[in-house]
């Protein structure tokens, strides 16, 4: 299989949807279903469709190329070059510098364990940052810097949030309001954190429609809030149900033959895999992503997770 040639870039005024996998391995059926939905929702609204490889964490050699090949095999195309996050350090540093200049960033010397064990504010979600380093004295900052030196790491940089919560509109979930804490912008290893990178990259790619798994639904308000601070447009959101295994846990590669290549090795075709995804969306008989585009209506999206049952 070879990746489909990307289409010519669409005019920026049409906006864009996107799909942004992490190249940590082959995409499983749940990933492929979300990719098709993101492509369909973008194409049916006249938007461009962008691809981005979110490779700031664990990367498996060859996975990025395999993912592009698999998406093309299902009939997906995309506009413009594929964006690669590991090549975007300067853009993240520039956004971070803007926030620092505005006094919206502070150093955090806490370890992950210290954050988890610290008392949280009333009604704060589990794991929310308790504000430990938000207003340290000069002496406390010196002590924190010494601790980081001993640990051979940099302090994390956190957003000094000016709100406690923020709301977004989601195509399927309606109005979603979630807590906004002083979340990390740059990690202790010096790498841009996900919430900063995704906001900067969506703005750079002209993305105004974000379709992704609903496990990220409560992350949307903090990302939308950060977008407003950076002067970037807040995208329209469409969070879709995840794929689960028969035990009710999130589908994963350890669940067996759950990738496109696994299914091909068992005698199925790419069309069979699209057909399986189409069945899960209430449009049986699909063989390519374009079939889903032509036949599926977003009002048909099941609100419950897709439980994947596979032979062999």
209 bridge partner residues:
236
Digit-coded pLDDT (tens) for 167-213: 999 999 999 999 999 999 999 999 999 999 999 999 999 999 999 99
Answer yes or no: are the C-beta atoms of 287 and 275 closer than 8 Å.
yes
Please name which of 50, 39, 29 lies closest in space to residue 202, comparing C-alpha atoms: 50
Q: Is 147 one of the annotated active-site residues of the chain?
A: no
Measured in degrees and rounded to the nearest 5, phi and psi for residue 49 equal: -130, 120
* pLDDT averaged over every residue in the chain: 92
Overall average pLDDT of the 112-134 stretch: 79
Measured in degrees and rounded to the nearest 5, phi and psi for residue 132 equal: -55, -45
Selecting among 253, 261, 287, 295, the annotated active-site residue is 253
- Measured CA distances, 110 to 77, 129, 153 (Å): 44, 10, 11
Query: What is the spatial distance between Cα 32 and Cα 277, in angstroms, rounded to a whole number?
Result: 8
pLDDT band at 12 (very low <50, low <70, confident <90, very high): very low
Segments of the chain assigned to CATH 3.40.50.620: 12-87+241-307, 88-240
How much is the pLDDT for 5?
38
Q: What is the pTM of this model?
A: 0.91
Query: Higher confidence at residue 1 or residue 230?
Result: 230
Maximal C-alpha separation, the chain: 67
The response to whether 286 counts as a known ligand-binding position is no
Residue 121 has pLDDT above 80, yes or no: no
How much is the pLDDT for 8?
38
Query: Around Cβ 47, how many Cβ atoms within 10 Å?
Result: 21
The response to whether 133 counts as a known ligand-binding position is yes
How much is the pLDDT for 310?
84
How much is the pLDDT for 115?
87
The response to whether 225 counts as a known ligand-binding position is no
Residue 156 has pLDDT above 70, yes or no: yes
**Residue environment code for 58-69, b if the CB has 16+ CB neighbours within 10 A, otherwise e:** ebeeebbebbbb
Digit-coded pLDDT (tens) for 252-295: 888 888 999 999 999 999 999 999 999 999 999 999 999 999 99
- CATH number for the region 12-87+241-307 comes to 3.40.50.620
What is the three-class DSSP state of 60?
Answer: coil
Which positions ≥6 away from 112 have C-beta within 8 Å?
A: none
The response to whether 129 counts as a known ligand-binding position is yes
Among residues of the chain, what percentage have pLDDT more than 90? 84
pLDDT band at 3 (very low <50, low <70, confident <90, very high): very low
Among residues of the chain, what percentage have pLDDT more than 70? 93
Overall average pLDDT of the 41-70 stretch: 96
Please name which of 81, 104, 57, 60 lies closest in space to residue 6, comparing C-alpha atoms: 81
How much is the pLDDT for 87?
97
Classify residue 295 by burial, with Cβ atoms within 10 Å: 0-12, 13-18, 19+.
middle
Cα dihedral 201/239/271/22 (nearest 10): 40
The response to whether 20 counts as a known ligand-binding position is yes
Overall average pLDDT of the 209-228 stretch: 97
Residue 122 has pLDDT above 70, yes or no: no
Digit-coded pLDDT (tens) for 243-252: 999 999 999 8
How much is the pLDDT for 6?
43
pLDDT band at 117 (very low <50, low <70, confident <90, very high): confident
CATH entry, 88-240, from 3.30.70.260, 3.40.50.300, 3.40.50.620, 3.40.50.2300? 3.40.50.620
The response to whether 194 counts as a known ligand-binding position is yes
Torsion sign over Cα 205, 209, 210, 211:
negative
Beta-sheet strand order (sheet of 16-19): 16-19, 48-53, 83-84
Residue 7 has pLDDT above 60, yes or no: no
Query: What is the spatial distance between Cα 209 and Cα 115, in angstroms, rounded to a whole number?
Result: 33
The residue behind tokens 């461009």 is 48
Query: What is the spatial distance between Cα 33 and Cα 118, in angstroms, rounded to a whole number?
Result: 39
């Amino acid at each position: 299989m070879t990746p489909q040639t990307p289409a010519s870039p669409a005019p920026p005024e049409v906006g864009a949807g996107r799909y942004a996998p992490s190249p940590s391995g082959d995409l499983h059926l749940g990933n492929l279903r979300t990719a098709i939905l993101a492509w369909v929702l973008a194409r049916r609204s006249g938007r461009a469709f962008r691809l981005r490889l979110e490779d700031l964490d664990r990367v498996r050699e060859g996975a990025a190329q395999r993912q592009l090949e698999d998406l093309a095999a299902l009939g997906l195309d995309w506009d413009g070059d594929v964006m690669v996050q590991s090549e975007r350090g300067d853009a993240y540093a520039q956004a971070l510098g803007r926030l620092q200049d505005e006094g919206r960033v502070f150093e955090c010397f806490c370890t992950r364990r210290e954050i988890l064990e610290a008392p949280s504010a009333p009604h704060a979600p589990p794991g929310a940052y308790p504000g430990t380093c938000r207003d340290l004295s000069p002496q406390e900052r010196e002590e924190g810097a010494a601790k980081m030196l001993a640990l051979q790491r940099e302090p994390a940089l956190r957003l000094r949030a000016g709100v406690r919560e923020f709301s977004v509109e989601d195509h399927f979930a309606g109005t979603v309001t979630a807590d906004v804490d002083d979340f990390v912008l740059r990690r202790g290893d010096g790498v841009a954190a996900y919430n900063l990178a995704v906001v900067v990259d969506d703005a750079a790619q002209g993305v105004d429609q974000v379709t992704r798994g609903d496990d990220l639904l409560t992350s949307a308000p903090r990302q939308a809030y950060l977008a407003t601070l950076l002067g970037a447009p807040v995208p329209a959101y469409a969070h879709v149900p995840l794929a689960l295994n028969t035990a009710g846990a999130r589908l994963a590669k350890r669940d067996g033959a759950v990738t496109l290549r696994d299914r091909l090795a068992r005698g199925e075709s790419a069309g069979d895999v699209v057909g399986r995804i189409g069945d899960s969306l209430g449009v049986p008989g699909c063989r390519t992503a374009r079939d889903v585009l032509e036949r599926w209506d977003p009002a048909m999206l099941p609100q419950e997770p897709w439980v994947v049952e596979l032979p062999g």
